[in-house]
Chain A
Amino acid sequence: MTKAISTQGVGRVYSASGKSKEVRALSDVALEIEEGEVRGLLGPNGAGKTTLVKILSTVLLPTEGRATIFGHDVVRETAAVRGMIGIVFGGDRGLYWQLTARETLEYWAALYHVPPRETKARVETLLERVGLAARANERVEGFSRGMKQRLHLARGLVANARVLFLDEPTIGLDPIAARDFRTLVKELKSEGRTILITTHDMAEAEAVCDRVALIDRGRLLAVETPASLARLVSQHERVDFDSAEPAVVASVRAVPGVASVSARNGDHRHRVDLVDGGALRGVLQTLVAAGVTTISTSRPSLEEVYVHMIGDRGLKV
């Protein structure tokens, strides 16, 4: 069966303007995404997520490899691909801030060949769906960042695309709007659409994605389910505590599953890095027994998980 999105060995090299130096943004990316799947693309800034989305959405050409959308090559069959995709970029740009929300959607409906007699109803439905119906006749320039992001979403949906690319779609959304967005993604999935969503947000990936691809420095590191990704993060939980006693530090270091105890901000504050999530309980018990009162736990950032991953697994997918 034809995959909704497929890439083989996709890479992209940028030539720096006016310099002979080349910058590799993406290397040898191989992805297979089934129809109706919601796939997350997780990675730190500069990891290559947006470059991959731009290649798949025909904004950029790959310099290596091949990418297809429902079997149509993004390089050779661009027109066919463009008729099947919708794209939402995050941030303030990409909107005509001098138009109203309604005018914006009508304009993009025209560009996407939505018949004039269908446009009004579709625009109204979308405005309702993203919660902008009450502000439909206001110009975008007066919108908050969250409202602009909702309009971005509506614009991406105007063509009724089979495949949606959502590049950091919840940037600027407040928690309630972000929750509504997740509900919307689930609705879109239930309609059978295939969605590739880039994000930094682990919770978001966990909430909406069937599987998550981890990408860093232009390379695909792994494809995991959100559950296994959450397990991975919890394994690298860490504990910060305040104590100047060498004996306390030594006893914490002796707890099984502790990778390291390092001094921070002088000798008083310490950080405990764990390699096993099960060690957390033992570390906390040790600290409480030693009379330490200032203790906090935290999970590493996504980028830190990558550092662990690269250290643990190399660049193997």
Chain B
Amino acid sequence: MRHALRIYRYGLLVGARDFAIFWNWKTWCGGWMMRILTNVFVWVLLGRLLGSQEKLHYLMVGFAATAGVGTFAVAAASWDRLDGTYSLLVISPSSIAPALFGRMSVWMYGWIASAFVTFFIVSLAFQWTFSVLATAVTLAIIVLICVTTFFLTVAVGAVASLAPRIRNMCSFLVTLVIMAFCGVSVPVSFWPGWLQVVCYLLPVTHGLEAIRLVLGEGANATAILRQVGLEVLVGFGWLGLSLLIVDRFAEAGRADGTIELV
């Protein structure tokens, strides 16, 4: 585990330098966050137009807690191929997973920061106040949502890296699926029964339900813990899948030549 963490740390360093190519603190605040807030405000204002406080809060939670979630990480899974380091990572005596997790996870920290900032600004703008405890629990669940989504992006990234040219499309697809099916904009019950089953196997869905329970009236600790527990389980499921396929796909690339794809 210490060995994996050591590699993860260097992978994270590479990721942090990737991040710095895209953003500095000025462009992150003035560019990225403005874009995110604009998007969130449009949706939340639609909730206000509907004239229902309940719908307004539903959209606020959905869009603020998932602000920026899922972006860039899937594409980052292919960046080692672009650098020409992928095959070198594969043939090192270590698993490729910690290196990949490190490089990709910097974007997860960006999601957490984006969601925190958005949550505070939106709740201030719409004068929705919470207790300190509710705020702390909400922020913790936001972190959980970002981590579980990250595990999904690693799995999708591993698949996308088999066809690196469509990595950005896969990245957008992840965002689309989360926004459409995980209870961000419409309740999961909106979708057909079979699709609801799929929705509950995705990250975010249980986490958002947990936040809505925390911020709703008459919060029920058992129900909240149940949703948090389910979100954790879903996260472990995606983590397990991603750990299972990352090295296998890399090794399979030795046979079919996809290890050399750029």
Contacts and interface: CB of A to CB of B under 8 A. Distances in A.
Interface in B1-33: 3, 6-7, 10, 13-14, 17-18, 20-21
Given A87-B91, A112-B92, A61 B255 contact: yes
A102 to B, nearest CB: 12
B257 interface: yes
A59 B83 CA distance: 16
Interface of B: 3, 6-7, 10, 13-14, 17-18, 20-21, 83-85, 87-94, 99, 254-257, 259-260
A107 B91 contact: no
B91 A94 contact: no
B254 A58 contact: yes
A85 B91 CA distance: 9
Among A91, A98, A110, A159: residue with most chain B CB under 10 A: A110
Given A58-B91, A61-B255, A110-B10, A98 B18 contact: yes
Nearest to B7: A110
Given A89-B84, A93-B83, A98 B17 contact: yes
A94 B254 contact: no
The B contact surface, by secondary structure, is helix
Given A94-B83, A111-B94, A113-B93, A59 B13 contact: no
A111 B99 contact: yes
Range of interface residues on chain A? Answer: 20 to 34
Contacts of A94: 83-85, 88
A9 B82 CA distance: 33
A60 B254 contact: yes
Nearest to A91: B84
A48 to B, nearest CB: 14
B85 A96 contact: yes
B21 A106 contact: no
A262 interface: no
Nearest to B92: A111
Contacts of B90: 59
Contacts of B257: 14-15, 60
A98 B103 CA distance: 12
A79 interface: yes
Closest 10 CB pairs of A and B: A93-B84, A98-B17, A107-B10, A111-B92, A94-B84, A61-B254, A110-B6, A82-B93, A111-B94, A61-B255
B14 A98 contact: yes
Interface string A166-180: 000000000000000
A88 B81 CA distance: 16
A126 to B, nearest CB: 16
A57 B92 CA distance: 10
A111 B86 CA distance: 13
A44 B92 CA distance: 28
Chain A CB within 10 A, most for which of B83, B90, B93: B93
Contacts of A83: 93
Nearest to B87: A59
Contacts of B87: 54, 59
8 contacts: A59-B91, A60-B254, A60-B259, A82-B91, A89-B88, A99-B17, A107-B13, A110-B6
Interface string A82-122: 11010101011111111100010011101111001000000
Contact of B94 (A57, A97, A112): A112
